[in-house]
Chains A and B, each alone.
Chain A
Amino acid sequence: MTRVIIAKLKKIQYWIAGTAIAMVLVGAVYAHAQSKNHLGAFGDTANINDDLYIQAVKNLTKSVPKNETLVVTANSAVIKYFSDHPVKVPWRGKVTSEKTLVTWMSNLGYKYLVVVYTHGRGTSIAELKPIFSNKGLRALSADFQKLGETRTESAKLLLYKKIEQL
């Protein structure tokens, strides 16, 4: 009887070790497979695999005179690098409505606005969401003239020019 108990005791540590190894292997593979869901930049809402995006940025901004600053709602660095234009994001606090956007742009002498809709979302900046939602975009037509629109696999890019007030 004692021999049986001892034999079982001997085995139990190996069982724990075996379970730990299995846990590590299965856990690592499962975590790897799941990681895309936890990281927004790689999930379904990302545009990193969009074949047409860079070309679309280049085509859309071709008509903008050199050295003119583009006010962009998203992907500021990508648009800056591939359009070769200075860019500015209407950052926190300064812009909360279409009216403040127009005033802010006028004060700084900016004329061009690029609105980016990636997977139907206008901007990731919470303060700007009311302006660049679908509803906000329609409202923009009062102060802005639409110069162009282009679609990619994951996004819609719109170029506006601010209407100069007399």
Chain B
Amino acid sequence: MALENHNNLRKNENKSILSFFKSYGIDIAFVIFCIFLALYYNEFISVLRVPSHDGTVYLMNAHDWLSNEPLDEIYRPPLISWIIAGIWSVTGENWVLVKGLQAIFTIGAGVVLYILLRKYKGNAFAFGVAALTMVNGPVFLFSTQILTEGLSLFFLVLSMYFLKTQKEKYWFLAGITIALTFASRYPVFLQAIAIFVVESILTRKPKLALRAISSGVPALILIALIVYLKAGTFTTALSKDTTLSLLLSPYYIVNSINIWGIPFLLVPVALIYRRTYEDRFNYSFIVWFIVSLLFWSASSGNWQFRFAFQYTPAVYFLSILAIENIVKSSISVNSTIVSYHGAIRSRLKRIKRISRYELFGDFGNE
């Protein structure tokens, strides 16, 4: 009796362990993936001996903020320099200490993206999009430098996370994170605004949009004011980089495979499925992708791989969505085939009978 109870207990334990792994297996795999990615970043960054040109400018601006000297390049977004200055105010000025700063934000962006998609699309979908984004070549390589791409991606994804939650306090936070997206990289603000507009239209709750505006606008004014007081002016880019053209450049389409790899080929596949437009959750990702692609392609002379950084999650979201659509459409095709199978067979029998009657007349009947 006691042995039987013991065996039952063990069976139950095994069952609960199995069900735990079934429920959280992909989550555990994602955590392991993040640990390995962090180790890979560490290996890459630890052998970095010279900062990039832009990275050095952010270091110099951080030094200027800290030592109250005029900014070296006033058109650079201030957030990364503020964070560096904040770290240096505690540790003392040393560029080696902030080498890995951006990687932390990129991994953070991946984690937020996973949490967001896990809630709405399931673990496997979330793992696919987040992992593809984080191992993307340009995303990984530029995140090893002292730049603003990973930082802005983090705030952009965080903004989307808040906007997808239908609660006032989250929309209030979204306003702040949209402003921080602006402070981290000025042009990415447009992507945040596009997502905000889509979500505002979808929720049909003006109260939520007003909540975000009530926190976002003051935060934006504050950021611009701080920079203005320091630099005496507020410039967001060099004048040569601000000219847009209606004649769109094919640069990002031509280089799409080099930027995002073969998965990019699945993006048009996702866009042709009706199923893609049936789920309103997908809308912000579609708009995010299209607005970003159009905006960067409209630049009249400055096209770079790293400008594609921030909408990489949208590209991989659509790629994975294409796979999901193929799988789900196969299920519907199968069910259609099964449901029509009987009907097709009975029709075939009937056709056979009719043809026999027509060929042999009454003699054909048994």
Contacts and interface: CB of A to CB of B under 8 A. Distances in A.
Interface of A: 2, 6, 9-10, 12-14, 16-17, 20-21, 23-24, 26-36, 38-39, 41-42, 47-51, 53-54, 75-78, 80-81
Interface stretch (B179-187, B224-232, B328-336): B328-336
9 interchain residue pairs of minimum CB distance: A35-B137, A13-B330, A27-B262, A31-B261, A77-B56, A27-B261, A17-B326, A24-B263, A17-B327
B337 A24 contact: no
Contacts of A47: 50
26 contacts: A2-B344, A10-B333, A10-B337, A14-B330, A17-B326, A17-B327, A23-B262, A24-B262, A24-B320, A28-B132, A31-B136, A31-B259, A32-B135, A32-B140, A32-B261, A34-B258, A35-B137, A35-B141, A38-B258, A39-B141, A49-B47, A49-B50, A50-B50, A53-B50, A81-B56, A81-B95
Interface in B250-307: 255, 257-263, 265-266, 269, 305
Interface in B122-180: 128, 132, 135-138, 140-141, 145
Nearest to B337: A6
Contacts of A76: 53
Contact of A16 (B63, B255, B326, B337): B326
B334 A48 contact: no
B326 A13 contact: yes
Interface of B: 47-54, 56-57, 59-60, 63, 72, 95, 128, 132, 135-138, 140-141, 145, 255, 257-263, 265-266, 269, 305, 319-320, 322-323, 326-327, 329-330, 333-334, 337, 341, 344-345
Contact of A6 (B49, B128, B341): B341
Contacts of B260: 31
A41 B266 CA distance: 29
Contacts of B60: 77, 80-81
Contacts of A51: 49
Most central of B47, B48, B132 by chain A CB within 10 Å: B132
Contacts, number: 130
Contacts of B48: 48-49
Contacts of A81: 51, 56, 59-60, 63, 95
Given A35-B138, A78-B50, A20 B323 contact: yes
Contact of A38 (B269, B305, B334): B305
B262 A26 contact: yes
A162 to B, nearest CB: 25
A interface secondary structure, majority: helix
A32 B137 contact: yes
B139 to A, nearest CB: 9
Contacts of A77: 53-54, 56-57, 60, 72
B345 A2 contact: yes
A2 B349 CA distance: 13
A30 B341 CA distance: 43
B113 to A, nearest CB: 15
Contacts of B333: 9-10, 13
Contacts of B330: 10, 12-14, 16-17
Contacts of A16: 326, 330
Given A78-B50, A81-B56, A10 B334 contact: yes
Contact of A78 (B56, B141, B337): B56
A35 to B, nearest CB: 2
A29 B134 CA distance: 11
Contact of B262 (A30, A75, A80): A30
B50 A48 contact: yes
Contacts of A49: 47-50
A29 to B, nearest CB: 8
A14 B137 contact: no
Most central of A23, A26, A54 by chain B CB within 10 Å: A23
A24 B259 CA distance: 14
Nearest to A47: B50
A1 B255 CA distance: 47
A150 B317 CA distance: 50
Nearest to A5: B337
A53 B52 CA distance: 12
A42 to B, nearest CB: 5
B266 A24 contact: yes
A23 B263 CA distance: 7
Given A27-B261, A28-B136, A36-B141, A54 B50 contact: yes
